[in-house]
Structure 1
Protein backbone atom coordinates (compact mmCIF):
# COMPACT_ATOMS: atom_id res chain seq x y z
CA UNK A 1 0.00 0.00 0.00
CA UNK A 2 2.81 2.41 0.81
CA UNK A 3 4.42 1.94 -2.61
CA UNK A 4 1.03 2.49 -4.26
CA UNK A 5 0.46 5.59 -2.15
CA UNK A 6 3.85 7.11 -2.96
CA UNK A 7 3.30 6.45 -6.66
CA UNK A 8 -0.16 8.06 -6.81
CA UNK A 9 0.94 10.97 -4.62
CA UNK A 10 3.13 12.08 -7.54
CA UNK A 11 0.26 11.89 -10.04
CA UNK A 12 -2.79 12.68 -7.90
CA UNK A 13 -3.63 15.81 -9.94
CA UNK A 14 -3.77 13.71 -13.11
CA UNK A 15 -6.01 11.32 -11.21
CA UNK A 16 -8.67 14.03 -10.97
CA UNK A 17 -8.53 14.67 -14.72
CA UNK A 18 -9.01 10.95 -15.35
CA UNK A 19 -11.95 10.79 -12.93
CA UNK A 20 -13.64 13.84 -14.43
CA UNK A 21 -13.40 12.30 -17.89
CA UNK A 22 -14.79 9.04 -16.47
CA UNK A 23 -17.94 10.89 -15.48
CA UNK A 24 -18.99 11.02 -19.11
CA UNK A 25 -18.60 7.30 -19.86
CA UNK A 26 -22.07 5.94 -20.79
CA UNK A 27 -23.60 4.14 -17.83
CA UNK A 28 -26.76 2.73 -16.32
CA UNK A 29 -28.63 5.21 -14.12
CA UNK A 30 -28.80 5.24 -10.34
CA UNK A 31 -32.22 6.92 -10.30
CA UNK A 32 -34.60 5.88 -13.07
CA UNK A 33 -37.92 7.15 -14.39
CA UNK A 34 -39.28 3.61 -14.15
CA UNK A 35 -38.70 3.53 -10.38
CA UNK A 36 -39.39 7.16 -9.44
CA UNK A 37 -41.70 8.61 -12.05
CA UNK A 38 -41.36 11.57 -14.39
CA UNK A 39 -39.65 13.78 -11.79
CA UNK A 40 -36.90 11.19 -11.18
CA UNK A 41 -34.23 13.63 -12.38
CA UNK A 42 -34.76 15.83 -9.32
CA UNK A 43 -33.24 13.15 -7.07
CA UNK A 44 -29.74 13.12 -8.60
CA UNK A 45 -29.79 16.91 -8.97
CA UNK A 46 -30.73 17.64 -5.35
CA UNK A 47 -28.65 14.88 -3.75
CA UNK A 48 -25.69 15.36 -6.08
CA UNK A 49 -25.51 19.15 -5.77
CA UNK A 50 -25.91 19.03 -1.98
CA UNK A 51 -23.10 16.49 -1.65
CA UNK A 52 -20.64 18.12 -4.02
CA UNK A 53 -21.23 21.65 -2.66
CA UNK A 54 -20.76 20.36 0.89
CA UNK A 55 -17.42 18.90 -0.20
CA UNK A 56 -16.25 22.24 -1.59
CA UNK A 57 -17.39 24.02 1.58
CA UNK A 58 -15.32 21.63 3.68
CA UNK A 59 -12.29 22.36 1.53
CA UNK A 60 -12.99 26.08 1.62
CA UNK A 61 -13.35 26.37 5.39
CA UNK A 62 -10.27 24.20 5.91
CA UNK A 63 -8.13 26.38 3.63
CA UNK A 64 -9.55 29.65 4.94
CA UNK A 65 -8.71 28.75 8.55
CA UNK A 66 -5.33 27.05 8.18
CA UNK A 67 -3.67 26.25 4.88
CA UNK A 68 -1.64 23.07 4.64
CA UNK A 69 0.83 22.51 1.82
CA UNK A 70 -0.21 19.32 0.06
CA UNK A 71 2.06 19.68 -2.94
CA UNK A 72 4.96 17.82 -1.41
CA UNK A 73 8.51 18.42 -2.48
CA UNK A 74 9.89 17.10 -5.77
CA UNK A 75 6.58 15.21 -6.10
CA UNK A 76 7.24 13.35 -2.86
CA UNK A 77 5.44 13.53 0.47
CA UNK A 78 6.84 16.44 2.49
CA UNK A 79 5.85 18.71 5.37
CA UNK A 80 7.68 21.36 7.36
CA UNK A 81 5.16 21.37 10.21
CA UNK A 82 2.49 19.13 11.67
CA UNK A 83 -0.72 21.12 11.18
CA UNK A 84 -3.31 20.38 13.88
CA UNK A 85 -5.21 23.68 13.99
CA UNK A 86 -8.49 24.69 12.38
CA UNK A 87 -10.51 21.87 10.80
CA UNK A 88 -7.48 19.61 11.31
CA UNK A 89 -8.55 19.60 14.96
CA UNK A 90 -11.65 17.69 13.84
CA UNK A 91 -10.27 15.47 11.05
CA UNK A 92 -6.77 14.55 9.91
CA UNK A 93 -7.61 14.79 6.19
CA UNK A 94 -10.44 17.29 5.70
CA UNK A 95 -9.19 18.37 2.26
CA UNK A 96 -9.29 14.78 1.05
CA UNK A 97 -12.75 14.30 2.59
CA UNK A 98 -13.85 17.39 0.67
CA UNK A 99 -12.44 15.95 -2.56
CA UNK A 100 -14.24 12.66 -2.02
CA UNK A 101 -17.58 14.37 -1.41
CA UNK A 102 -17.11 16.62 -4.45
CA UNK A 103 -16.51 13.61 -6.71
CA UNK A 104 -19.27 11.48 -5.19
CA UNK A 105 -21.61 14.43 -5.62
CA UNK A 106 -20.90 14.97 -9.32
CA UNK A 107 -21.15 11.20 -9.87
CA UNK A 108 -24.63 11.26 -8.35
CA UNK A 109 -25.47 14.46 -10.23
CA UNK A 110 -24.69 12.85 -13.58
CA UNK A 111 -26.66 9.81 -12.37
CA UNK A 112 -23.88 7.38 -13.30
CA UNK A 113 -24.04 3.97 -11.65
CA UNK A 114 -20.69 3.06 -13.23
CA UNK A 115 -18.93 6.08 -11.71
CA UNK A 116 -20.37 5.65 -8.22
CA UNK A 117 -20.04 1.85 -8.10
CA UNK A 118 -16.65 1.42 -9.83
CA UNK A 119 -14.63 4.62 -10.02
CA UNK A 120 -15.45 5.98 -6.55
CA UNK A 121 -14.31 2.76 -4.78
CA UNK A 122 -11.13 2.82 -6.90
CA UNK A 123 -10.61 6.47 -5.92
CA UNK A 124 -11.12 5.63 -2.22
CA UNK A 125 -8.56 2.82 -2.43
CA UNK A 126 -6.00 5.15 -4.02
CA UNK A 127 -6.68 7.88 -1.46
CA UNK A 128 -6.29 5.42 1.40
CA UNK A 129 -2.91 4.40 -0.03
CA UNK A 130 -1.83 8.05 -0.41
CA UNK A 131 -2.84 8.84 3.18
CA UNK A 132 -0.94 5.82 4.51
CA UNK A 133 2.18 7.01 2.67
CA UNK A 134 1.74 10.52 4.08
CA UNK A 135 1.23 9.15 7.57
CA UNK A 136 4.42 7.09 7.37
CA UNK A 137 6.35 10.26 6.51
CA UNK A 138 4.71 12.27 9.29
CA UNK A 139 5.22 9.51 11.86
CA UNK A 140 8.90 9.21 10.97
CA UNK A 141 9.38 12.98 11.16
CA UNK A 142 7.20 13.98 14.11
CA UNK A 143 7.20 10.66 15.98
CA UNK A 144 5.27 10.80 19.26
CA UNK A 145 3.70 14.15 18.41
CA UNK A 146 2.01 12.63 15.37
CA UNK A 147 0.96 9.50 17.29
CA UNK A 148 -0.65 11.67 19.95
CA UNK A 149 -2.51 13.60 17.25
CA UNK A 150 -3.73 10.37 15.64
CA UNK A 151 -5.02 9.10 18.97
CA UNK A 152 -7.33 12.12 19.28
CA UNK A 153 -8.39 12.87 15.70
CA UNK A 154 -9.94 10.50 13.14
CA UNK A 155 -8.30 9.90 9.78
CA UNK A 156 -11.51 10.32 7.77
CA UNK A 157 -14.46 11.11 10.02
CA UNK A 158 -15.08 14.79 10.72
CA UNK A 159 -16.02 15.33 14.36
CA UNK A 160 -18.40 18.30 14.25
CA UNK A 161 -18.44 18.74 18.02
CA UNK A 162 -17.10 22.21 18.77
CA UNK A 163 -16.52 23.04 15.11
CA UNK A 164 -18.41 26.31 15.48
CA UNK A 165 -16.03 27.38 18.23
CA UNK A 166 -13.06 26.43 16.09
CA UNK A 167 -14.28 28.59 13.20
CA UNK A 168 -15.23 31.50 15.47
CA UNK A 169 -11.90 31.37 17.29
CA UNK A 170 -9.71 31.71 14.19
CA UNK A 171 -9.26 34.28 11.43
CA UNK A 172 -11.26 33.29 8.36
CA UNK A 173 -9.19 34.10 5.27
CA UNK A 174 -11.73 34.01 2.46
CA UNK A 175 -9.26 35.45 -0.03
CA UNK A 176 -6.93 32.51 0.56
CA UNK A 177 -9.81 30.13 -0.13
CA UNK A 178 -10.42 31.76 -3.51
CA UNK A 179 -6.81 32.11 -4.68
CA UNK A 180 -5.98 28.53 -3.68
CA UNK A 181 -9.16 27.04 -5.11
CA UNK A 182 -10.08 29.09 -8.19
CA UNK A 183 -8.61 26.52 -10.60
CA UNK A 184 -10.46 23.66 -8.91
CA UNK A 185 -13.64 25.69 -8.59
CA UNK A 186 -13.66 26.70 -12.25
CA UNK A 187 -13.25 23.12 -13.51
CA UNK A 188 -15.74 21.84 -10.94
CA UNK A 189 -18.45 24.40 -11.73
CA UNK A 190 -17.90 23.96 -15.48
CA UNK A 191 -18.54 20.25 -15.07
CA UNK A 192 -21.71 20.95 -13.09
CA UNK A 193 -22.94 23.40 -15.75
CA UNK A 194 -22.34 20.87 -18.54
CA UNK A 195 -24.15 18.13 -16.62
CA UNK A 196 -27.15 20.29 -15.70
CA UNK A 197 -27.63 21.80 -19.15
CA UNK A 198 -26.80 18.85 -21.39
CA UNK A 199 -27.90 15.86 -19.30
CA UNK A 200 -31.12 17.38 -17.98
CA UNK A 201 -33.02 18.98 -20.90
CA UNK A 202 -36.04 19.19 -18.55
CA UNK A 203 -34.36 22.17 -16.85
CA UNK A 204 -34.50 24.24 -20.04
CA UNK A 205 -37.90 22.87 -21.10
CA UNK A 206 -36.19 20.97 -23.95
CA UNK A 207 -35.34 24.32 -25.59
CA UNK A 208 -31.88 23.83 -27.15
CA UNK A 209 -31.55 27.51 -28.06
CA UNK A 210 -32.15 28.52 -24.43
CA UNK A 211 -29.72 25.85 -23.30
CA UNK A 212 -26.98 27.05 -25.63
CA UNK A 213 -27.48 30.69 -24.62
CA UNK A 214 -27.31 29.81 -20.92
CA UNK A 215 -24.20 27.74 -21.55
CA UNK A 216 -22.40 30.63 -23.26
CA UNK A 217 -23.45 33.12 -20.56
CA UNK A 218 -22.30 30.83 -17.75
CA UNK A 219 -18.99 30.11 -19.49
CA UNK A 220 -18.36 33.85 -19.86
CA UNK A 221 -19.12 34.38 -16.16
CA UNK A 222 -16.85 31.52 -15.18
CA UNK A 223 -14.09 32.89 -17.40
CA UNK A 224 -14.48 36.33 -15.82
CA UNK A 225 -14.29 34.78 -12.36
CA UNK A 226 -11.21 32.71 -13.24
CA UNK A 227 -9.22 35.56 -14.80
CA UNK A 228 -10.25 38.05 -12.10
CA UNK A 229 -9.00 35.83 -9.27
CA UNK A 230 -5.92 34.90 -11.27
CA UNK A 231 -5.10 38.59 -11.78
CA UNK A 232 -5.62 39.40 -8.10
CA UNK A 233 -3.30 36.52 -7.20
CA UNK A 234 -0.55 37.14 -9.75
CA UNK A 235 -0.52 40.91 -9.21
CA UNK A 236 -0.10 40.44 -5.48
CA UNK A 237 -3.29 42.36 -4.74
CA UNK A 238 -4.56 39.32 -2.89
CA UNK A 239 -2.13 37.23 -0.90
CA UNK A 240 -2.81 33.86 0.66
Structure 2
Protein backbone atom coordinates (compact mmCIF):
# COMPACT_ATOMS: atom_id res chain seq x y z
CA UNK A 1 0.00 0.00 0.00
CA UNK A 2 1.43 3.37 -0.98
CA UNK A 3 1.53 6.43 1.26
CA UNK A 4 -1.12 8.00 -0.99
CA UNK A 5 -3.73 5.30 -0.20
CA UNK A 6 -2.80 4.57 3.42
CA UNK A 7 -5.62 6.69 4.88
CA UNK A 8 -8.33 5.39 2.54
CA UNK A 9 -10.83 2.70 3.61
CA UNK A 10 -9.71 -0.90 3.09
CA UNK A 11 -10.13 -2.12 -0.49
CA UNK A 12 -13.02 -4.55 -1.09
CA UNK A 13 -10.91 -7.10 -2.96
CA UNK A 14 -7.45 -7.51 -4.55
CA UNK A 15 -8.61 -6.20 -7.96
CA UNK A 16 -10.09 -3.07 -6.38
CA UNK A 17 -6.87 -2.58 -4.40
CA UNK A 18 -4.71 -2.93 -7.53
CA UNK A 19 -6.82 -0.45 -9.50
CA UNK A 20 -6.83 2.03 -6.63
CA UNK A 21 -3.05 1.78 -6.23
CA UNK A 22 -2.63 2.37 -9.97
CA UNK A 23 -4.92 5.43 -9.88
CA UNK A 24 -2.87 7.00 -7.08
CA UNK A 25 0.54 6.18 -8.59
CA UNK A 26 1.97 9.55 -9.61
CA UNK A 27 5.02 8.38 -11.63
CA UNK A 28 2.88 6.19 -13.88
CA UNK A 29 0.46 9.10 -14.46
CA UNK A 30 3.30 11.37 -15.50
CA UNK A 31 5.13 8.81 -17.65
CA UNK A 32 1.95 7.67 -19.40
CA UNK A 33 1.01 11.28 -20.20
CA UNK A 34 4.45 11.94 -21.69
CA UNK A 35 4.32 8.69 -23.66
CA UNK A 36 0.80 9.54 -24.90
CA UNK A 37 1.97 12.93 -26.16
CA UNK A 38 4.82 11.22 -28.03
CA UNK A 39 2.43 8.64 -29.52
CA UNK A 40 0.16 11.46 -30.72
CA UNK A 41 3.13 13.28 -32.23
CA UNK A 42 4.33 10.16 -34.05
CA UNK A 43 0.94 8.93 -35.26
CA UNK A 44 -0.53 12.36 -36.05
CA UNK A 45 -2.45 12.97 -39.24
CA UNK A 46 -2.46 16.78 -39.32
CA UNK A 47 -4.51 17.28 -42.49
CA UNK A 48 -6.11 20.58 -41.52
CA UNK A 49 -3.48 23.20 -40.77
CA UNK A 50 -6.02 25.29 -38.86
CA UNK A 51 -6.73 22.42 -36.42
CA UNK A 52 -3.01 21.94 -35.88
CA UNK A 53 -2.64 25.60 -34.93
CA UNK A 54 -5.71 25.56 -32.67
CA UNK A 55 -4.35 22.47 -30.91
CA UNK A 56 -0.84 23.84 -30.73
CA UNK A 57 -2.18 27.11 -29.23
CA UNK A 58 -4.13 25.22 -26.54
CA UNK A 59 -1.11 23.03 -25.76
CA UNK A 60 1.09 26.14 -25.69
CA UNK A 61 -1.23 27.78 -23.17
CA UNK A 62 -1.04 24.63 -21.05
CA UNK A 63 2.77 24.66 -21.23
CA UNK A 64 2.87 28.32 -20.15
CA UNK A 65 0.50 27.65 -17.23
CA UNK A 66 2.66 24.70 -16.13
CA UNK A 67 5.82 26.79 -16.36
CA UNK A 68 4.19 29.63 -14.40
CA UNK A 69 2.85 27.29 -11.71
CA UNK A 70 6.06 25.31 -11.27
CA UNK A 71 7.95 28.52 -10.47
CA UNK A 72 5.66 29.14 -7.48
CA UNK A 73 5.19 25.78 -5.83
CA UNK A 74 7.39 24.90 -2.85
CA UNK A 75 6.28 21.32 -2.23
CA UNK A 76 5.23 20.65 1.35
CA UNK A 77 7.13 23.68 2.69
CA UNK A 78 4.82 26.59 1.94
CA UNK A 79 1.27 26.83 0.64
CA UNK A 80 1.42 28.46 -2.79
CA UNK A 81 -1.42 31.00 -3.03
CA UNK A 82 0.10 33.53 -5.44
CA UNK A 83 0.63 33.46 -9.19
CA UNK A 84 -1.70 30.91 -10.80
CA UNK A 85 -2.54 29.50 -7.35
CA UNK A 86 -4.47 32.71 -6.70
CA UNK A 87 -6.96 31.55 -9.34
CA UNK A 88 -7.03 27.75 -9.15
CA UNK A 89 -5.85 25.14 -6.61
CA UNK A 90 -4.17 22.83 -9.13
CA UNK A 91 -2.74 24.91 -12.00
CA UNK A 92 -0.21 22.20 -12.91
CA UNK A 93 -3.13 19.84 -13.57
CA UNK A 94 -4.96 22.55 -15.54
CA UNK A 95 -1.82 22.93 -17.64
CA UNK A 96 -1.58 19.16 -18.14
CA UNK A 97 -5.20 18.95 -19.27
CA UNK A 98 -4.73 21.80 -21.76
CA UNK A 99 -1.55 20.19 -23.12
CA UNK A 100 -3.34 16.87 -23.64
CA UNK A 101 -6.39 18.51 -25.24
CA UNK A 102 -4.13 20.56 -27.50
CA UNK A 103 -2.11 17.56 -28.67
CA UNK A 104 -5.30 15.58 -29.31
CA UNK A 105 -6.70 18.37 -31.48
CA UNK A 106 -3.40 18.99 -33.27
CA UNK A 107 -2.89 15.28 -34.01
CA UNK A 108 -6.35 15.04 -35.61
CA UNK A 109 -6.63 11.41 -34.55
CA UNK A 110 -10.29 10.55 -33.86
CA UNK A 111 -9.47 8.09 -31.07
CA UNK A 112 -7.22 10.50 -29.16
CA UNK A 113 -10.06 12.34 -27.37
CA UNK A 114 -11.78 9.23 -25.86
CA UNK A 115 -8.38 7.88 -24.75
CA UNK A 116 -7.52 11.23 -23.17
CA UNK A 117 -10.89 11.42 -21.36
CA UNK A 118 -10.37 7.90 -19.96
CA UNK A 119 -6.84 8.84 -18.85
CA UNK A 120 -8.03 12.03 -17.14
CA UNK A 121 -10.94 10.26 -15.43
CA UNK A 122 -8.69 7.43 -14.22
CA UNK A 123 -5.90 9.57 -12.77
CA UNK A 124 -7.04 13.08 -11.92
CA UNK A 125 -9.86 12.70 -9.37
CA UNK A 126 -7.62 10.62 -7.06
CA UNK A 127 -4.65 12.95 -7.62
CA UNK A 128 -6.72 16.03 -6.74
CA UNK A 129 -8.25 14.29 -3.72
CA UNK A 130 -4.83 13.23 -2.46
CA UNK A 131 -3.26 16.67 -2.97
CA UNK A 132 -6.13 18.42 -1.21
CA UNK A 133 -5.97 16.02 1.77
CA UNK A 134 -2.20 16.39 2.01
CA UNK A 135 -2.25 20.20 1.81
CA UNK A 136 -5.10 20.39 4.32
CA UNK A 137 -3.13 18.22 6.74
CA UNK A 138 0.05 20.30 6.27
CA UNK A 139 -1.45 23.79 6.30
CA UNK A 140 -4.77 23.41 8.14
CA UNK A 141 -6.72 26.64 8.48
CA UNK A 142 -4.59 28.46 5.88
CA UNK A 143 -5.53 25.78 3.31
CA UNK A 144 -9.21 25.90 4.36
CA UNK A 145 -9.38 29.68 3.91
CA UNK A 146 -7.65 29.53 0.51
CA UNK A 147 -9.51 26.50 -0.84
CA UNK A 148 -12.93 27.77 0.23
CA UNK A 149 -12.83 30.38 -2.51
CA UNK A 150 -10.42 28.71 -4.98
CA UNK A 151 -11.71 25.88 -7.17
CA UNK A 152 -9.66 22.77 -7.96
CA UNK A 153 -9.51 23.07 -11.77
CA UNK A 154 -11.81 25.92 -12.79
CA UNK A 155 -10.08 29.31 -12.44
CA UNK A 156 -11.84 32.06 -10.57
CA UNK A 157 -10.78 35.53 -11.70
CA UNK A 158 -13.53 37.81 -10.35
CA UNK A 159 -12.19 40.31 -7.84
CA UNK A 160 -8.66 38.94 -7.95
CA UNK A 161 -6.93 41.21 -10.48
CA UNK A 162 -3.71 39.99 -12.09
CA UNK A 163 -1.29 38.28 -9.71
CA UNK A 164 1.89 37.16 -11.41
CA UNK A 165 3.51 36.62 -8.01
CA UNK A 166 7.12 35.80 -7.18
CA UNK A 167 7.88 33.40 -10.01
CA UNK A 168 11.32 31.78 -9.97
CA UNK A 169 13.02 30.07 -12.92
CA UNK A 170 15.31 28.30 -10.46
CA UNK A 171 12.31 26.96 -8.54
CA UNK A 172 10.72 25.84 -11.79
CA UNK A 173 13.88 24.02 -12.86
CA UNK A 174 14.92 22.54 -9.52
CA UNK A 175 11.50 21.76 -8.09
CA UNK A 176 9.97 20.13 -11.14
CA UNK A 177 12.45 20.09 -13.99
CA UNK A 178 9.76 22.03 -15.80
CA UNK A 179 11.93 23.66 -18.49
CA UNK A 180 13.04 20.16 -19.55
CA UNK A 181 9.40 19.05 -19.81
CA UNK A 182 8.63 22.17 -21.84
CA UNK A 183 11.48 21.33 -24.23
CA UNK A 184 10.12 17.77 -24.57
CA UNK A 185 6.60 19.03 -25.37
CA UNK A 186 7.91 21.56 -27.89
CA UNK A 187 9.90 18.79 -29.57
CA UNK A 188 6.75 16.63 -29.76
CA UNK A 189 4.77 19.53 -31.26
CA UNK A 190 7.53 20.11 -33.83
CA UNK A 191 7.67 16.38 -34.60
CA UNK A 192 3.90 16.35 -35.07
CA UNK A 193 4.01 18.84 -37.93
CA UNK A 194 7.37 18.08 -39.53
CA UNK A 195 7.09 14.31 -39.87
TM-score by length of 2: 0.75
1:190 aligns with 2:187: yes
Gaps of 5+ in 1: 32-39, 70-78, 199-240
Q: 1:41 aligns with which of 40, 48, 52?
A: 48
Shift of 1:4: 4.5
Distance 2:140 2:173 in 1: 34
Structure of greater relative contact order (alpha carbons < 8 Å, 6+ residues apart): 2
Report the aligned-residue RMSD: 2.9
Number of residue pairs aligned between Structure 1 and Structure 2: 176
Q: C-alpha distance in 2, partners of 1:47/1:21?
A: 18
What is the deviation of 1:43? 2.8
**Equivalent position of 1:173 in the other structure:** 168
Cα shift readout 1:90-115 (whole Å, capped 9, x = no counterpart): 10000110111011101111111211
Q: Take 2:182 and 2:42, find their aligned partners in 1: how far apart are those partners? A: 22
Q: Please say if 1:15 is aligned against 2:32.
A: yes
1:104 aligns with 2:101: yes
Deviation readout 1:9-65 (Å, 9 max, x if unpaired):
2433322233224426868x7x9xxxxxxxx6123212101100111111222234x
Residues 55-89 of structure 1, C-alpha deviations (whole Å, 9 max, x = no match): 1111222234x2333xxxxxxxxx23322222111
SS of residue paired to 1:166: coil
Q: Distance in 2 between matches of 1:139 and 1:96?
A: 18
Aligned partners of 1:149 and 1:49: how far apart in 2? 32
Q: Is the 8 A contact 2:59 2:99 kept in 1?
A: yes
| Corresponding residue number in structure 2 for 1:88 | 85
CA distance, structure 2, for counterparts of residue 197 and residue 103 of structure 1: 19
